[in-house]
Amino acid sequence: MRVIVCKDYNEMSEKAFEVMKDVITKNPKAVLGLATGSSPEGLYKCMVRDHEENGTSYQDITTYNLDEYVGLPKNHPESYYTFMHKNLFDHIDIKEENTHLPSGSTQEEADAYEKQWDAVTCDLQLLGIGRNGHIGFNEPGTPFAQTTHIVDLTPSTIEANSRFFDHDINKVPKQAISMGIGSILKAKKILLVASGAEKADAVKAMIEGPATESCPASALQKHDDVVVVLDQAAAAGLDR
């Protein structure tokens, strides 16, 4: 696991973009696993700026997103479909048919998404990390071999996401459809970004703690090619 500590969020985003750009440059037909949330927003801005200024093309890139809320329509302002279009897809030349997000509320629909994922080889999987160490919506206790599944969100995750729903936990969906940890580990390369002091404990457990289901992100210790890009606040608990 390669760990890069940056001074702030902007530098973290730029450094993460360098990792992403290297993959895209080497393989213009790369398959990317993408994530939502505040952590990757800066990286997406870098991708958009690079596309506009340098003409980097995404015409032959294929993307698969980690997760989506259960029960939100695609056009809901807080759906991950909306997030991805607002922050990335609408600003680059990627083909709509090459973008994939999970959807549905049944395990059958989750299995269908996993089958799509199995049919490709992901060149780079982008991740954030939750305060409790979750990746995607894989909460503590999720088996490391878990594939795409329907998740009951924990109270801490619902509370953390309430900031996107007028700080009203009653508006936050209580379930999500998410790639599993086993799905994530299929990627050839994994890039995780984290910023802020509230992520420091989870980052420390991921990197320096044991590989245990109590910290889902610690499963990344089992992968051969992981790059973790942090700002100083998120890295504050590390011994290195």
- Give the residue numbers annotated as catalytic, written as ranges: 67, 132, 134, 139
For residues 202 and 167, the answer to whether their CB atoms sit within 8 Å is no
CB atoms within 10 A of CB 53: 8
Phi, psi of 210 (to 5 degrees): -70, 160
Q: Answer whether 110's CB lies under 8 Å from 104's CB.
A: yes
CB 238 within 8 A of CB 204: yes
